[in-house]
Chain A
Amino acid sequence: MKLIQFIGLLCLAALAGSVQATVFNAVQLDKSRLDFTFKQMGVPVKGGFSRFAAQLNFDPAKPAAASAVIDADLSSIDAGSAEANDEVLGAQWFNAKVFPRARFVSNAVRALGGNRYEAVGKLTIKGRSQTVTAPFTYVGQGATARFDGAFTLKRADFAIGEGEWAAFDTVANEIQIVFHIQAASLPAPRK
């Protein structure tokens, strides 16, 4: 009897442990989005990336241990129009032949209270890196979680738009990045 009770307790503890340690580690790319907004002649223009990769490790109980890597395939850009899509891959903008991807890496997530968090990380575009802070919200629903956030980068910090495009009177310096990441919790592979 005692043994059965003991095994039962063990099972409960294991169950409680697994509930506590819901780590969202499998990004569902088809349900995630990476978009941006910028102003051109005072006109807000929406854009986005249709191809990107994302690795995530987020445990709401241990946000400090979270990590994220997001790689955007720059050639998948929608910059508002077909001619803009061609233009921004060129040397003056992303120089995508040499720098095909933009990368965000964060190992520093902190809780801001409620469902709000912020990720501090390194954003690398066109061979230039900057530290950025991306506030986001986390909404968990069973085995899936949604992360929504936004931050603003200055294109001049990454030399996005050089030469005739360097001035901000036509294309503004500020570009707002908006992300929506959906991730599932998958058990770690057995060793």
Chain B
Amino acid sequence: MIDSVPDTPLHQMAAPAVKAVGKRRSPSARRQQRAAWLFLAPACVMVALFVLYPIIKSISLSFYNWDGMTDKTFVGLANYVELFHAPTFYTALKNNLLWLLLFLLAPPMGLAIALYLNQAVAGIRLVKSLFFAPFVLSGVVVGLIFSWFYDPTFGLLALILGHGIPVLGDAHYVTFGIVFAALWPQTAYCMILYLTGLTGLNADQIEAARMEGARGWALLWHVVLPQLRPTTFMAMVVTIIGALRSFDLISVMSSGGPFESSTVLAYYMYDQAIKYYRYGYSAAIAVVLFAIMLVYIAWHLRRLLRNEH
């Protein structure tokens, strides 16, 4: 029986098979690839239709003068020239930067609250849901609540301080006032992300660290935070995006005023398009905002791709 096995060395027998795999995919691999493309197709179509097409359309529109009704006229870079000479554009840019910087307080504040809420005490569920509440509210509601809060005649702030400060009426305070209101739901959002992250912590590692003498800040810094890195990344992503597309609170609380001092790029764009019927100019603002976001998106994608490999 044993004699019937051909006396070929193992590596010679295996060689042709290895070559075939290297050159051409097996039928099952081809089938799998086809299935992968089929699954990807709906998403690709959607992205092309609702993301790529509007981007291209906006870029082309930004070279035209158009009020939405009469014919478009090609004006070349005139929209951009006007934009870079408009003081409001720089106000909006500065405010966007301010939003971005102040909004980055949301992840650490969310983490602090999550750490505080991450304990087994009776009634903690109720407290958690109270902290969770602002995240559920719509931006308009948050805006209204804070408008009343800041109101110099009957607002809670005036009651606390004893005298009214027109936060939303003062060009120096208005952006801070709106960002503070926006931080409320954003912190709640980050808190939820961190609470979820905290439940996934490896208890053995925490105990091992405790046995090694780590506690308090050292434990948080060396063992807990590294384990929460994916959560922190996620919290940063949603916060940065949230800061760059801030619009609803500004619209409700100040309409970009007073004297356009609290406007941001997204609101400026809306203002020019909807109130002044300047679609070409507003498209140019959109392109600039897109270019700013692109820097961030590129960084984000690079990170994602690197993590995959």
Is chain B found bound to chain A in the same assembly?
no
Q: Which residues of B contact A (CB under 8 A)?
A: none
